[in-house]
Structure 1
Amino acid sequence: MRVELLRVARDMLEAEGINALKLRAITRQAGVSAMAATPHFGNLRGLLTALATQGFEELACTLREGNGRSVKDAGLAYVLFAVRNPGLFTLMFRGDAINRHDAAFTHAAQQSFGLLGQLLAQTEPPKTHKSDVGGEVGQAALWAKVHGLAVLAIDGLLAPLVVQSGFADHQEAFLAQALDAMVGPV
């Protein structure tokens, strides 16, 4: 039942957004009583935390598949994960909707960020604005850029910047070029 409730919640999240998620609606859609979710998640926040945990586990798999590739490739994998899972990606970073202190969530998030950090550490950040920032600060700056690009992409704010018609047809190429501009050709 836990797996089914998570599947239904994820489908609803992607179709209707986070604000539409209510525990009764999820359990009704799953065909079980509202109380059926309690032993598995406790409440809606627990269910959303489990769903966000699942998201970080999937992101870790995505990043692991690209381990050893360039920072640009890792960044593109991160952004495309967000584009392909916009509701889930948004939920993963919504501290007001999830329990960031949940042990499974913390472990999954740290695993993802650890893999991302390893990939980012493979390159020197581009020197901009007379900055020699490297190490953890440089990695955080690169992650902020990549994460910002992901958020702009899932919020649909990049489409107006693309002169070509059919942004969806050129989205991956555009994102790759944007990452190239941010991290440099790596």
Structure 2
Amino acid sequence: MPSESRRERARAERRELIVRTARELAEAEGWEAVTTRRLAEQVDYSQPVLYGHFANMDAIAAAVALQGFEELAVVLREGRAGDGLRGLAKAYLRYAEEHPAMYDAMFVRRTDLVFGATETPAVLRQAFAEILAAVTPHVTTDAETATEVFWGALHGQATLNRGARMRPEHRQARADLLVDLFVVPAVDGG
């Protein structure tokens, strides 16, 4: 009989396989192609095994989204370290463009993930903290609210860019203008 830790490892590996396969399938064919039936076929487990790990497709999408927030926090940190608020904005928009299925899992698909509350998962808080750290030096108002406004504007640009709803040749100009609106000019001491 397998040991308890061995069973736990096998369970964790199955769960990771399900999440990885859902992500790969969504990236290749879109989230509409990701169903429990299709996932079960892809991972070679029965649907009841999937349901033993996840309550439903929303829970699977939430697990994918959590991975995305881990990635996004790193991308935002690197962008912020490279060029402050401007670098962070570019990094955010680039991530959304390069990972559309992941971005959908994080921000478009329905999940039970809660933002801005005590039960918000740590990885969501980390990604928000990166945006907050970049916005805070540039605002004289409530930094968290300003961060939500900045983030909302980035999300709007990412979504509208992807849907080809705005002039594609002006993507960079829009991102630059957003940053410029947040950057408080230095006040001369004299």
Distance 1:61 1:162, change over 3 A: closer
1:42 corresponds to? 55
1:71 corresponds to? 85
Q: Which residue identity is paired with 1:78?
A: Y
2:97 corresponds to? 83
2:137 corresponds to? 122
Hey, what's the Cα distance between the residues in 2 that align with 1:181 and 1:67?
17
Distance 1:8 1:75, change over 3 A: same
Structure 2: gaps of 5 or more residues: 1-13, 184-190
Structure 1 residue 156: Cα displacement: 2.7
Distance 1:138 1:43, change over 3 A: closer
Q: Which residue identity is paired with 2:47?
A: A
1:170 corresponds to? none
SS of the residue corresponding to residue 14 of structure 1 reads helix
Q: Which residue identity is paired with 1:75?
A: A
| 1:54-75 deviations in Å (ceiling 9; x for gaps) | 1111111111223433211101
- Pick from 119, 138, 158: which aligns with 2:146? 138
Report the RMSD for the aligned CA atoms in angstroms.
Answer: 2.6
2:45 is equivalent to residue 32 of structure 1: yes
Distance 1:136 1:104, change over 3 A: closer
Structure 1: gaps of 5 or more residues: 125-131, 164-173
Hey, what's the Cα distance between the residues in 2 that align with 1:82 and 1:105?
21
Structure 1 residue 105: Cα displacement: 6.5
Hey, what's the Cα distance between the residues in 1 that align with 2:46 and 2:28?
22
SS of the residue corresponding to residue 138 of structure 2 reads coil
1:150 corresponds to? 158
Hey, what's the Cα distance between the residues in 2 that align with 1:98 and 1:144?
18
Between structures 1 and 2, the one with greater helix share = 2
- TM superposition score normalised by structure 2: 0.75
Distance 1:54 1:6, change over 3 A: same
Contact (CA 8 Å) 2:93, 2:158: kept in 1 or not? yes
Which of structures 1 and 2 has the larger relative contact order (alpha carbons within 8 angstroms, sep 6+)? Answer: 1
Number of positions where the alignment pairs a residue of Structure 1 with one of Structure 2: 166
- TM superposition score normalised by structure 1: 0.76
Percent identity, please: 27
Distance 1:144 1:101, change over 3 A: closer
Hey, what's the Cα distance between the residues in 2 that align with 1:92 and 1:47?
12
Hey, what's the Cα distance between the residues in 2 that align with 1:94 and 1:4?
23
SS of the residue corresponding to residue 132 of structure 2 reads helix
